[in-house]
Amino acid sequence: MNTQVCIVGAGPSGLLLSQLLHLNGIDCIVLERRSPEYVLSRIRAGLLERVTVDLMHEAQAAQRMDKEGLIHEGVGIAFGDRRIRIDFSHLAGGQLMVYGQTEVTKDLMDAREAIGGQLVYEAEDVSVHDFDTDKPKVRYHKDGKTHEIDCEFIAGCDGYHGVSRASVPASAIRTFEREYPFGWMGVLSETPPVDHELIYANHERGFALCSMRSHTRSRYYVQCPLTDTVDDWSDDRFWDEIRRRLPPDVAEAMVTGPSIEKSIAALRSFVAEPMRFGRMFLVGDAAHIVPPTGAKGLNLAASDVHYLSRGFNAHYKHSDSSGLDTYSDRALARVWKSERFSWWMTSLLHRFDEGDFARRIQQADLEYLASSDAAQASLAENYIGLPV
C-alpha cells in the first residue's frame, strides 16, 4: 500500500488529523491496534478549548457538539470557608465547551466513515521504519498477514505507550517527567451536576472536583493515595468523602446515585523533545502528558494537530515545508506553557505532605488569587487556552 501520510493511532488526535488531511486532498491511512468499541470505552476529559472546537468545525464533525455541548463562562474555586468564581468572559474574553472526549472520538469516527477514509482497526504489531530517510514505512499484521505501507510521512498519534516514540533512538530524544504522590478517584453518575459550572476545592482532606458531561450526567473526583484501588471506594464512601471536601451549600445541593463508571488515575507531567524525527512527527500523548487539573490533555493534542495539519497543507499545496520544519518548536512552546499551568493548578489545589511551610505558601497563593484581578485574569487566560 502507498499513502502520503500514515497515521498511527485512532484516538481523537489521529482521527482529527486524518479528517483534516482528507478534506484538503492529502491521502492518509490510519492504523489502530484496538477495536472501535475499545477506543470508545475509554473515559476521558470533556473540556474543549476554542482551538479544539474550531478544528471540529473544520473537520466537519461538529454538528452534534454544537447541539449538545455546554458553554462555560467561568469556574469556581473553593478553599477554607471561601468560594470564588473565575469569570472567563470578563477576565479573558473567552469561554469553554463541556463535551466528552468519548463523544468527540465518536463524532470523528462517524465523520471518517462518512467520507470513506481508510482506517484499519485491530492492526497488530505495528512498527515504524526508515523515518530518518525519505522513504519511511509502516508494517502491521492483520488477519494472519503482514502488511507494509510505503508513505512520505508518519504521524505518531499512538499515545504514551505507543510504538512511535519508543522507536526513536535514545540518543535522539530527551524526556522530562514529574510524578505526583497521589491519584484521582473518579466517579461517573447519571445525576444532575451540582452546579452549572465546574467547582475545584482545596480542603484539608484533599482535592475535590465537581464536573459534568451533560445536564443529567456528572463527573466527580477526589484526591486519593496511589495505593488505593477502585474496590476500596464504595459509592457510599465516595459520596460521603466528596461532600466533606466541598462548601456546605454545595454538599447539601449534591444529588447522589449509583456510579456507572469508576477509575483511579495517577497524575504525572511528561514531555518528550523534540517532536519531529526525520519524517515522523509525534502528536498528543505520544509526546506529552499533563495532570488533568488544568484540562489540557485533549486540547494540547488538538493544538499539535493544528500546527501539523497546516504544515502538511503548505507542504503539499505550495511546496512550502517551513510549517513542518518548525512544527516541533511551535508545538513545544505551547506544550511547556500548558505544562506550567497544569503543574501550578495541581500544586495550588492538592494536599502535599511537604510540611507547614509549603502549606502556608499554598494558602497565601489562594488568598492572592481571591484578592487579585490580575491573578484571576492569568488563571482565566491559561484555563480557556492560550493562542495557537
Residue of 200, 220, 316, 327 with catalytic role: 200
| Alpha-carbon distance values, 139 to 8, 142, 221 (Å) | 11, 10, 40
On the 0-12 / 13-18 / 19+ scale of CB atoms within 10 A, 69 is buried
Q: How far apart are CA 289 and CA 177, in angstroms?
A: 9
Report the half-sphere exposure of 373 (CA within 13 A, side-chain side).
Answer: 3
**H helices present in the chain, as ranges:** 12-23, 36-41, 50-58, 63-68, 88-92, 101-114, 163-166, 235-244, 248-253, 297-318, 322-325, 327-349, 355-371, 373-384
Q: Sort residue 223 into left (φ over 0), alpha (ψ -120 to 50) or beta.
A: beta
DSSP β-ladder status, 5-8 and 28-31: parallel
| Active-site residue, 72 included | yes
Report the C-alpha gap between 48 and 62 in whole angstroms: 12
140 part of the active site: no
Active-site entry in 12, 247, 291, 292: 292
d(CA 197, CA 296): 17
Q: Which residues contact 45 (CB under 8 A, 6 or more apart)?
A: 100, 101, 292, 295, 297, 298
C-alpha grid cell, residue 24: 484538503
Cα angle, residue 256 at apex, residues 254 and 261 outer, rounded to 5°: 125
- Grid cell 461538529 in the structure block, residue: 62
CA 251, 246, 208, 366 dihedral sign is positive
Q: What is the distance between the alpha carbons of residues 254 and 283, in angstroms, rounded to a whole number? A: 38
Residue of 99, 180, 221, 383 marked active site: 383
Considering 296, 306, 315, 350, which one is annotated as catalytic? 296
292 among known catalytic residues = yes
Q: Is the peptide bond before 12 cis (omega within 30 degrees of 0)?
A: no
Q: How far is 334 from 9, CA to CA, in rounded Å?
A: 22
- Round to whole Å and give the CA distance between 101 and 45: 6
Catalytic residue, candidates 22, 72, 203, 288: 72
List residues with catalytic annotation.
72, 200, 292, 296, 383
